[in-house]
Amino acid sequence: MPELPEVEVTRRSFAQAIEGATVVGARLGKPLRWPLGVATESLVGARVGAVTRRGKYLWLPVSTANAEAGGLLLHLGMSGSLAFNAAALASDSVPGAHDHFDLQTDRGLLRLTDPRRFGAVVWSDALHSGPAAKLLAGLGMEPFDPRFDGPHLYAGLSGRRVAIKLALLAGDIVVGAGNIYACEALFLAGIDPRLPAAKLSRPRAQKLALAVRGVLARALDAGGTTLRDFKDAHGVAGSFQMQAQVYGRAGDPCLVCGTPIRRIVQGQRSTFFCPQCQKR
C-alpha cells in the first residue's frame, strides 16, 4: 500500500508540471471506492492549482469554467498509482483495464491506475468542507509539523492499551507511520513493538518521535519504498527497501547486534523487530 512517503514522492513528481494547466477532458472508468460527485464534463475548462498533500490524500484544487472553486481529493488505496505523461493526449493513450480516472490537461495526461479499485477521486468544494473535510477529519498531525514532538506523541498515547506499533498505525496521532516505517522507527528508537502504548515513557516518546520523522525523511530522499510495483508519476521506483534494517529481514542477523530478526503478526500486519535491541 502506498504510504505517506510514496504519496509525497508522487505529488512532487507531477505537481509542478500540472500547476496552472487547463483541463480539456476527463474520463471515469469503473467505479472506485467513492463516487466522483461531479459530472466529468463540468471539469472541462477548469484551471489546476498547486497540488498539496494531507496524510495519504492528494488535493488538486481547481477553478471551474463557471468560476466555482473546489478540487479533487485523490487516494491511491491499496494498489493505486498516478502517472503523468506530458506528451500524451487522451486520444493517443487508450486506457487499460485498471485505468479508472483520466484528467486530460493542456500540459499532459494525469491517470489513476488501481487494480483493486480501493482508491478514490472525490470532488469537494474545499478541503475544510464537504466530502474532503469528512475524509480528513480523523487524521493526526503531519510528521514534519514542528509541533510533532515527544510531548505530543506521549499525550496521544496516554491511556491506550494497544501495542505501540498498532497505535502508530492508527494514524490519529501522527500520519505517515505505515507498516514498514513503523517497524523501522521502533527499531531506531529501541522500542519493542509489543509494548503497551500507554507505558511509553516521556523520554522514549521523544526518541520515537524523532525516529518517525527521521525514517520518513530518509524514505522521501530514497523515492519511497518499492516492494512490488510502486512508481512515481514518471515511472521511477523507490529504493528505501534497500535501507531497511528490520522490515522483511526475518531470520537475518540484526545489523547492530547480530541477533536474528523476528517476525510476528499484529493487527493482521507483519511486524519485524530485533528482540535484543528493542526493549519493552
Catalytic residues: 2-3, 56, 269
d(CA 173, CA 209): 11
Question: Do residues 143 and 176 make contact, with C-beta atoms less than 8 angstroms apart?
Answer: yes
CA dihedral 258, 259, 261, 267 (to 10 degrees): -140
**237 burial level (CB within 10 Å; 0-12, 13-18, 19+):** middle
CA 102/CA 44 separation, integer angstroms: 12
Cα 164 from Cα 177, distance rounded (Å):
12
- State the helix-helix crossing angle for 4-18 and 202-221, rounded to 10 degrees: 40
Return the half-sphere exposure (C-beta side, CA atoms, 13 A cut-off) of residue 46. Answer: 26
The beta-strand segments (E) located in the chain are 23-28, 47-48, 52-54, 57-63, 69-75, 81-85, 99-105, 108-113, 120-124, 262-266, 269-273
